[in-house]
Structures are given as structure tokens and as C-alpha cells.
Amino acid sequence: MSPQADWEEIERLFHAAIDLPVDERQALLASASAPVRAEVESLLKADGETFFAAPPAHLAADLVEHQPGALTAGQRIGKYEIESLITIGGMGEVYRAHDPSGIPVALKILRRHLVASPHAVARFETEARAASALHHPNIVTVLESGDSPAGMFIAMEWVEGRTFRETLNAGAVDAAQALDWARQAARALAAAHAAEILHRDIKPENIIIRPDGVLKVLDFGLARLAGPVRLEMNSRGASGTISGTLSGTLLYMSPEIFRGEVASSAADVFSLGALLYEMWTGQHPFAGETPLDVFEAIECRPVAAPSTLRAGIPPEIDALLLRMLDRDPALRPAADEVCGVLNRFSAKT
């Protein structure tokens, strides 16, 4: 039979068999040639999946709403006037804007359809309100949050500077500078924890260093809207690789967060510990070739004492960093204790 005739036969048998009980299908297919029969059986097995039942509405909405620079200079979001696009992320954009008196702000727009669930939206609103109550010289101030036709927005203090990631990439940080930044970061964390606000995603990308050396932590309480972090394999499960978006954060994630436990202040201390370790030694404590290597390192690789990696790191700092990176959250110092140790050491030097 020609391929075309086969295809017509396959089609006819598929429709004839699809609504029959399974045992009656066998009789129907008995007369077909082996290849036709195999094809029909394989199709019958695949029937009933709900995959692509509906048009890709999220993607279409994304196409419409997520054009680079969807908001243009002069447009208004709340009382703020857009100046320029700063960056585009998976869930929205950040713009430079200004308020009616001309004071610059960073405006973060969260696109509603890009958020995983309505629950996450509600949490975003709660967290944004809580974060706006935080006022500390080392924390980027949330000025206002609200809703607009473009999506939910957060207006934040505009901070000129570069991210801590860029600072680390630029080269080794000298000992006095490292101590100063460590104290500033620890003060930010202690202040937030005192107000019962967790960061949940401390990493070098979320810290900005101003040209005058002042350190500012960004996005308190706003990270990780999805709750416990889940590893999502590539959506068709073909390669089984860990999606790229997670890997940046992975390096600063505490073992208990991996296990899916609810974030606590000790998890923030762990993340800060990993970041300070990297600053002091120039090496990440859990560096690995692949995300799975990183998992393994965080879960079970012993952390080398910082002083073994770089000469001149004093024993107090050695001990403090190792305690912050303890696998047992209960054994880690609280953020204000980290401040205390750093202050005492600073006074001594």
C-alpha cells in the first residue's frame, strides 16, 4: 500500500477504534497490516492527553505586554513618570522614573500574568507593604507599592552604583574594605530581622555598592514569591538539566531551603556567610561545575577555613564565616551576633 493509502487507513481505524472499549479495539485492528496496526495502537495510547488544549494565551499576552521598553518615556505609573528602561526580567521590568518633584526612583513593574499564582500576587502585595516599613541606611528603601494598568509596581529609592557581583568580578577586595562591607551588610540583615522581615534571596546581584562605598541591600522580602524553591526540569523533561534561572541563586541557598523547608532568618545568615566568604577569599565556598555539583557541595562538602585560601584572614573571621555556613541552622549566629563579632573585631584593628 502507498504511504497515503496507509495514512487514510490509519485515520479510518483510529476514529473507528477510539470510542470502542479496549477489548473490542483488538478485533477491529486484527485485519490491518502490522505497520498500520502499530501506528493506530500507538496513537490510541496517546489519546486523552490534555496537552495544548488551549491556545498559548500566556505567551500571546507576554508578546503584547512584554515588548522591550513597553513603557516609554513620559508615561505615568501612579504618580511616577517613566524616564528609561533599566532591565528586563522574567516577571517584569525595572525603569528609572521620577516623582512629581523630580526625585529619581527605580520603578519595578510586576506583570500579573507572569506570576505563577494568585497566591503569589497576594503575597507580593503583603511583602511590598511590609518592606516599605523598613528604613535603614543599608537597605534600599521601598517608597510605595501599588497597582496600575501596567501591572503591580514598586517604587524604590534610586541608588547609583554597581552590584556587588560586579564589584567582586572586578578583583580582590582588600581586608579593610571587606570588613567595612561585611559590617554594613550584617547591619542591614540585623535591622530587617529585628522587624521580622526576611530577605530570602541574599546574593551579590541583590546588593548595590554606591561610589562612596555605602552598601545597600535590595529587595527585602520581595524575592522568592513562589515560596519553597522547587527545581523545575526542562518542561518536556528531555535533557533533565536544571533551568538556568535557578543557578545564579543556587550558590547562596542554604541546605534547609534545598530540602524545601520554610525560610528562616538563619537561611539569610547562611546566604550572607557564603557571600562574605567569597568576598574575603575570592573563592565561593560551594563552587561547582554543574548545579548538581553545587547541590552536593552545599549538602555535604566540608567548607575550607577561609584562612587556608587567602593569607592574612584572622581567626575571628575564620570562625565567624564557618559558623554562618553551618549546615545546622540552629548553630548559626543570628544577624545581630554577626554584627557584634564584626564590630568587636573592627574596634580591635
Partner 1 sequence: MNPEGEITGLLTAWGKGDQNALNELMPLVYNELHRMARRAWSGQNQGHTLQPTALINEAYLKLAGSANASFQDRRHFFAVACTAMRQILVNHAKSRQTGKRGNGQFVLSLDEVQPAVNQEAAEVVALHEALERLQAIDERKSRVVEMRYFGGLSIEETAEALGVSVITVNRDWRLARTWLIREMGGGGS
Q: What part of residues 2-41 is at the interface with partner 1 (CB under 8 A)?
A: 3, 7, 11, 14-15, 18
Q: Are 315 and 307 in contact (CB under 8 A)?
A: yes
Residue number with CB closer to partner 1 (262 or 331): 262
Residue type (1 letter), 270: F
Rule CB under 8 A: choose which of 5, 16, 38, 63 binds partner 1: 63
Rule CB under 8 A: say whether 126 interacts with partner 1. Answer: no
110 binds partner 1 (CB under 8 A): yes
Contacts of 308 (CB under 8 A, 6+ apart): none
Annotated active-site residue in 201, 219, 268, 326: 201
For partner 1, the closer of residues 184 and 271 by Cβ is 271
Please state the closest distance from residue 179 (CB atom) to partner 1, in A: 25
Which residue in the set 17, 91, 190, 313 belongs to the binding site for partner 1 (CB under 8 A)?
91
Q: Does 57 contact partner 1 by CB under 8 A?
A: yes
- Give the range of 20-28, 88-96, 293-301, 312-320 binding partner 1 by CB under 8 A: 88-96
Write each residue from 235 to 274 as x if it is in contact with partner 1 (CB under 8 A), else as -, in one continuous string: xx-x----x-xx--x-------------------------
Q: Which stretch binds partner 1 (CB under 8 A): 108-116, 175-183, 260-268, 319-327?
A: 108-116
Of residues 282-311, those binding partner 1 (CB under 8 A): none
270 or 303: whose CB is closer to partner 1? 270
Give yes or no for residue 212 binding partner 1 (CB under 8 A): no
Task: Tell whether residue 169 is a contact of partner 1 (CB under 8 A).
Answer: no
Please indicate whether residue 201 is annotated as part of the active site. yes
Using CB under 8 A as the binding rule, the residues of this chain from 184 to 203 that contact partner 1 are 201, 203
Is residue 219 near partner 1 by the rule CB under 8 A? yes
**Which of 22, 23, 30, 51 is close enough to bind partner 1 by CB under 8 A?**
51
Asked if 143 touches partner 1 (CB under 8 A), the answer is no
Tell me which residues are annotated as active site. Answer: 201
